[in-house]
Amino acid sequence: MREQLISNVQERMDKAVQNLRREFASVRAGRATPAMLDKVLVDYYGSQMPVNQVASVTTPEPRLLVISPWEKSMLSEIEKAIQKSDLGLNPSNDGTVIRLTVPALTEERRQELVKQVRKLAEEARVAIRNVRRDGNDELKKLEKNGDVSEDEVRRLMDKIQQITDKCIAQVDSLLEDKEKDVTQV
């Protein structure tokens, strides 16, 4: 029971860190990456699908994305979805593929992106702390019911705190790397 509680806390905190990694991957930092399009949804026969599920996305050059739809009829839908997204990119459609040129970032845009990644990191920290609180509350319930001794609760809370500290450190490290990535010219 106690080991399950600790592994559940660990798993939920790790998911928060993984989610932050995915979020950071979709923040463009002046270089083209297929992950930039992860949040762009295309209307595919009435349902919303990510671009990478209706086309192949490649990066032949550092500042260029090439999107090759599996069905030619999807070209205009993908183009519309990219224009509606908040990426600020203008797709060029040549009838077979869509090319997205990623412009160099302005200093103002870099500062906006730094704010955005800091906000995402803080959201991840909050999620991790919420998992810690939930775990500690669960331990207090077990103690109140007489299932666990006070010493055991204290030991398990320390273990949860260690996991929390490790995950927060991962978030800080990811943030530092992403800030460097965004601010480098």
pLDDT at 145: 87
Query: What pLDDT, in 10s, does the model give residues 6-31?
Result: 899 999 999 999 999 888 877 766 67
What's the distance, CA 44 to chain centroid? 24
pLDDT of residue 29: 65
pLDDT beyond 90 at 109: no
Mean pLDDT of the region 105-110: 80
Task: Place 176 in a pLDDT band, splitting at 50, 70 and 90.
Answer: very high
Residue 78 tokens, joined:
């993908």
What average pLDDT score do residues 99-103 get?
83
Q: CA-CA distance, 144 to 138, in Å (whole number)?
A: 10
DSSP labels, the chain: -HHHHHHHHHHHHHHHHHHHHHHHHTS--SS--GGGGTT-EEEETTEEEEGGGTEEEEEEETTEEEEEESSGGGHHHHHHHHHHSTT---EEE-SS-EEEE-PPPPHHHHHHHHHHHHHHHHHHHHHHHHHHHHHHHHHHHHHHTTSS-HHHHHHHHHHHHHHHHHHHHHHHHHHHHHHHHHH--
pLDDT digits (tens, 9 = 90+) for 110-167: 888 889 899 999 999 999 999 999 999 999 998 888 888 889 989 999 999 999 999 9
pLDDT one-digit tens code per residue, 79-92: 888 888 777 778 88
All structural domains of the chain, each given as residue ranges with its CATH number in brackets, are: 32-99 (3.30.1360.40), 105-182 (1.10.132.20)
More confident residue, 154 or 52: 154
- Output the pLDDT for position 28: 65
- Does 185 score more than 70 pLDDT? no
